[in-house]
Chains A and B, each alone.
Chain A
C-alpha cells in the first residue's frame, strides 16, 4: 500500500467527518461532545467544551443564533436539537472552567477599535497567541451592538477583566482619525475596525471588507462585525468575523500568506452519513417557564435527544471491526504503518489476518469501503515479502493439501459413462461434516438429471485464496482443472457456496452451478417425513452468497417446499454476516471467531437453517440448534436429531473424507482405494477431554499416530519409570508434536499432546 492508496482509503471512510451541527457552526463548536456532557447533567464539563472553541461563552453562549439547528440531522425525524437553548442552560448552570492559555510573546502588535463581539474576539485571540494588543472603545460602548440582548452586565465586566488578565491594553478612548490610523499601519501594526462601533464604521468609509480575509482596502487593515446587510443581527457571525480577522492578522504579522489553507474555516459541508432508521420521534422539550429557558433537568432531557451523529455502519454490523475499537479509517492507517515497518514489531498482523473477508462492510458502507479487499491485498503482500506469520494459516493450508491429495481428491465419470455433462462437487466441508449427505445427493442427482453426472472430490482453493497464498491458489485451481478435463468439461454442481463463489470469480472457464438451483428447478424435491420437519427456521445466508441472489432464493424456496416457514435474521441476504469461518478467521483468531459465531447465533431465538456445511458446524459448536438444508431434503440421511448434531472435529472431518472416498469408489465403481500409510495402522484411544483439548490445539489424530509410530520404531522416547508412560516427539514438517502415551491392549492410550514450531538443533525439517 502506498501513501496515495492510503489517502484514498482514508477519504472513503467518512466516520471522522463532523456532524451537521458542528460543520455548520462558524466556530465549529463540538456540539456532539457538548450534548453528551449535558445529557449526563455535567454542565461544567459541557462548558469546558464550549470554551475550547467559543470566545466569551458567558456572552455568546446566551445569545447565539444557532445556525446549527437549521441542519440538525434530527430534523429528518422530528425537530432539531435545541442547541441554542442548551448552551444558555449550560451557562446558567456552570461557572467558567479554564483559564485561557497565553502563548509565549511574539513579535508584532495589533490595535483594535470598537468593543463589539468581533473586536473583543480579535483582542482575545491575538493576545492569547502572544501578540501585543490594544483595544480602544468610546465610553460606555463595551459590548457595542449587544445591548438589549439577554446578557447580564456582569458578563461584560468579566470579559473586560479577562482581557486585562491576558495583558490586553484595554481603554476607553475616542476612535482615532484617518491620519492616526494611517500612521499605525505605516508602523506595521495590524488594525481591526469593529463595524458595530459607529466611529470605527466612519473609518471604513462605507466599504466592505473582503469576504475571505476581512482585509479592508489595504494591507494590515481588517474589519468585521456590524449589522447584517439585511438589517438582521447575528452574534455568531460577529464572533466568527472576529475569529477570521484574528487569523488573518496573525498571518499578516507573521508575514505569511493570508489565504493559504484556510478552507476549513467557517461553515462547511459535511460528508458524514448517519443512519436514522429506528430513531423514535421525541419532540423538543418545552421549558415549563419559557422566560427562564430550560431548567437543568429539562436541559438534560433535551440534550438526550441529540443523535450524536456518526457513521459506524460497518462497525455496528461486524464483530471483527468492533473488536479493534476503531473504524476503517483508523485501521487503514494502522495497516499502512504495519506494512511500512522494516524492523520491529508488526502490531497489526493479527488484525489483518482476523478479517473474515466476507464483504459485509462494503455493502453496508455508504461509501463502499471494503475492509475485505484491504486485508486480502495486504495478506498477499505479506506472503510475497515473507512476512506472513506461519502460524496464522498453516493448519488450514495443510488441510487444503490433504483435500487435494490422494486421501480425498477424486474425479470419476458417472458409473458406466464415458463423459459427463455434470459433475457433483460437494466440496471438502460437506464431505467432512456430513459424508452421508454427499452419497445421498449423488444418488439423487443421478436419478433426477437426464444427463450423466460424474463426481469430483477436492477443494476449490478458497483457503489458499483467503491466506493470501496467490500462488498456491492458482496451483490448486489448475489441479482442479486437470481433474475436470478428462470428464469432458462437465458443469460442476456445487453444494458449498464458497466453492461456487470462488470458482465463479476466479475460474470463470469452469462451468459452475449450485445444487440448490438445480434441485429447485427440477422440482424433484424428496418429500420429507411429516412431523420431522420444524414449522419455522431462521435462515442464515453464507457470506459467500452475498453476490448470488439466485442461490439465496433457491435455498429459501427449497425450505418452503419442505413445509418450513423461513424467517429472516437482522442482517440477511446481501447484508449477511459471516459465521466466523470465512477468511480463515477461525484459524488465525479462534477466540474472535467464536465470539462472531455466538453473536450471530443469538440474533434469533429459534432454530437456524444453514445451507453451508461450515456455517452449520460453526453454529452447532456454539450450542445453537441448526438444520442444514439437506437435513430437510434428505431426512433419512440426516440422523435422528439433526438440529442437535454436534460439530464435526478436525480429525473426524479428515477421516470422513477419506472414508467417503473409499466407500464411494468401492460401492459405485467397484474400485479399491488401496493406499494405507503406515501410521494409519496405529490404533489410538483417548478420553473425551483429551480429544477436545487436541481439537483446541489443532492437533490431529494422524499427528499423534505419526509421533507414536516414530517413537516405537526408533525407541526414541522418554519414560516415566513410576507410571510407565512414554513421552515422545516428532517433527513431520513445520511443527514438532509431543505425545504422552502408554501402550494398552491393542494399541495406545494418549494422555496429552502439545506442539511448538521452534526447531531443535538436528531436527529433520
Chain B
C-alpha cells in the first residue's frame, strides 16, 4: 500500500515511448522523510505524472507539515 494515491483520468501519455500511463508505486522524499505515492507512470520508461491539483494540493500540504515538524 502507498501513503498517497493519485490516479486521475488523464489524456497524457509518455511522449518518449508513446505508452499509456498506469499506476505505479513511487518513493518520494522531503526533508529526510520518505514515503510512497501511487502515481500514473509510463509502463516502459517510468516517467511519472504529477498533476497540478496534486502538486498544489495534497503534496503542498504535506510539504508544509513536514517543514513545521
Contact = CB atoms under 8 A, between A and B. Distances in A.
Interface of A: 343-347, 349, 389-392, 715-723, 726-729, 736, 738, 752, 754-761
B26 A761 contact: yes
Contacts of B65: 345
Contact of B55 (A346, A392, A721, A755): A755
Contacts, number: 86
Nearest to A758: B30
Interface in B29-69: 29-31, 45, 47-50, 52, 55-56, 59-60, 62-65, 67-69
A723 B12 CA distance: 10
B33 to A, nearest CB: 9
Contacts of A390: 31, 67
Contacts of A344: 69
Contact of B29 (A343, A717, A726, A761): A761
Nearest to B55: A756
Given A390-B31, A718-B13, A754 B56 contact: yes
Given A346-B68, A392-B67, A718-B49, 9 more contacts: A343-B69, A347-B68, A349-B68, A389-B67, A716-B45, A717-B16, A718-B47, A719-B15, A760-B50
Nearest to B21: A718
B16 A715 contact: yes
The 6 A-B residue pairs with the shortest CB-CB distance, nearest first, are A389-B67, A719-B15, A761-B27, A718-B12, A717-B15, A756-B55
Contacts of A715: 15-16
Interface of B: 11-16, 21, 26-31, 45, 47-50, 52, 55-56, 59-60, 62-65, 67-69
Nearest to B12: A718
Contacts of A345: 65, 68-69
A719 B63 contact: no
Nearest to A765: B29
Contact of B15 (A389, A718, A758): A718
A721 B15 CA distance: 9
A304 B27 CA distance: 64
A727 B69 contact: no
Contacts of A726: 15
Nearest to B36: A761
A715 B48 CA distance: 14
Contacts of A761: 26-29
Contact of B50 (A391, A720, A756): A756
Interface centre among A343, A721, A758, A760 (most CB of B within 10 A): A758
B29 A758 contact: yes
Contact of A738 (B16, B52, B68, B69): B52
A391 B63 contact: yes
Contacts of B50: 729, 736, 738, 756, 760
Given A346-B69, A738-B55, A391 B15 contact: no
B29 A752 contact: no
Contacts of A736: 50
A726 B13 CA distance: 10
A759 B30 contact: yes
Contacts of A717: 15-16, 47
Given A390-B31, A716-B47, A720-B11, A756 B67 contact: no
B1 to A, nearest CB: 17
B67 A349 contact: yes
23 contacts: A346-B68, A391-B63, A715-B16, A716-B47, A718-B14, A718-B21, A718-B47, A718-B49, A719-B15, A721-B11, A726-B15, A728-B15, A736-B50, A738-B55, A754-B55, A755-B55, A756-B55, A756-B56, A757-B63, A758-B28, A758-B29, A758-B59, A760-B26
Contact of B64 (A347, A391, A718): A391
A720 B12 contact: yes
Contacts of B59: 756, 758
A759 B14 contact: no
Nearest to A761: B27
A723 B15 CA distance: 13
B13 to A, nearest CB: 6
